[in-house]
Structure 1
């Protein structure tokens, strides 16, 4: 018994809304399969992606009324000329077959084992090339009359648009990540130049001043000048070290985020309670984003919040890196244009993550969550 047939415009409107809402493709394909079943009035439909001209994989499926259907991620061969999938791919137009008696390959065998004799395929075309197809199967001709496959053309066009949109979002995200990585590499290069160049020169100067001071009468005017110069050199050395760490600390590259966060917590003028640290390495751009977020949050706690204590939590959870810094200060922190918190927020967004700032009298919390792909 088939599902209730509904209006084609209603189906397309609902699917168009899914496209507009940027529904993740796995959930989108599942819903499209359901809508296709309702549109055709049958119990078994799906979305299949072509792997090549003789093989396809199921990416979405709907089954009702006890009907059998291949699961998502199932791959199978299809006959290029005697299957609806093969004909739709070749003709770039809706196709159907009413019998699999003469067809070869895995698909005909599966269809026969499920008691299906009629199959339709409406191609999903991207830039004129077949990406995949909306498929429907039924045990007999009366359940899926000739011409029904054409009803799915509008639906297939919406599926194609959803796939193109997803690709463009992925390309945009990859482009933004590359920009972050390029900026981070520049920071690392500047850190090396400072550490190996200017900082080393200042250290060498300080050593020479110490030698000169040791050879000079401590009570002389020259000794006083040398002491002042040595103090200036030591201050410059400390400032260069701090600047280099702010650009990109060597410990972050060499030992990872956990070690870098321990180091920044140890240097903080406000006591920091370490509640959790990540147990594994992440990509450089993710670790740098997390590190910069912690540095910015601790700097705000020290300079503006008049905080007495901070709490740092950085943990891997559910395929994401979650980092949070809280303080017990006066609150009032905001994201300002061009400020450090805005930079952190932008970096998190570029990596597909989220940024949350909560600040009120009694404390401020800064939190980022970045997908790690696991």
Structure 2
């Protein structure tokens, strides 16, 4: 009865510490002392398992003043000893004789004079967090109920750790939400994307890293650009410049190849990792950033002390998902502003071109004809045949000016499109095309004017590109109006390799289609022709 009362008293004291949320160092110091005194052990040790295959001593208690392994010291797992057996089996274990034990912990136990030991795992949220081990110098084995009595203490420790972890997770969630609100505020204020990238990287370092944080964007040409850097740096760190020289098995290449999180636990084991070691980095974790369904880039955090915690990727997931939203919003805002600027510039260019064509062509011809008519009006009344000839010439010239103006007006808006609709206008385009065109037009009736104009210029510009740049021998044009959507597809058998960044025509088309609420896609692999697809909503809400 006395033993049971002593055990309950010891457990109550530990439970009281757990209930009031005692600091970890206070709890960890109390548990080995309470367990050791209750079980009449010579030494009690609490250990924590690390992600790098080692075990760290977090607390010690001993009956005498003899030397104990210092708190914070680590031993690698391996061999026949309680530390390793508990990690592998997740169950209580005992050693009744250290004579045939092996590994670092066994050597230390023999040197301390211990002959037997019992240990129980500390399991937190389904994972073996650590163990509580009692040791004895007595030649006899520890009592058979030692494992069960130890388990009462480890369960309380596990509860305390789980509670502390839950509280930390709530605190971290609140911090993460606050950080993301700050990022959202930057986006809403219309701050440049560079400011958003820098802020997101700074927040990542503050929450997850202990040395550095970086944001990297993958480019369409297969290269990568360093957008932001916080923390450590070196000659290879050039914000806004191409990110070069990264290892083939490092984070940048791994995330690009897999689209998944990646980690390096020791750059000393990574070929090409020397620049990071010189910078002061030892380990890092990277998370992919997917924007609009595409791998856009990655954000990485690094440590100079050792491997980052195993749950770093999980903790960063919610952060990177919301960072991706902030990046997408910032990028979309920037692209919208750029597209509006391009539309305005294109409109201004078109007006200037039309004005120049009229000023240099039709207007001068009309002035010349006006002067000729004035000359005719001033001619003597007896020169009838000459006047008739002159008037005939003026009428012929006027017809020429009218034709010229008609041609100029085509650059603004084709007359057949206004009078007859998209289907006849596309047929007219096909007849005038320098490259043979096969048409498949499933269009019935008229569409809203903005859609007809937009669709017309998609086909017109794409046919022009096929004739001037693609070296195509055939172009296939499909158009269909069904389900409230106008779908257009233009395919050529040319050389492919079309890139919107190399010319304004395709960018202008994309802007025009997106301004109508539609989608524009381009597929142009080298040597395999070019396909342009666009969909335009016919419903009023899409206009």
TM-score band by shorter chain is 0.3 to 0.5
Query: Larger C-alpha radius of gyration, 1 or 2?
Result: 2
TM-score, with normalisation over the residues of structure 1?
A: 0.46
TM-score, with normalisation over the residues of structure 2?
A: 0.33
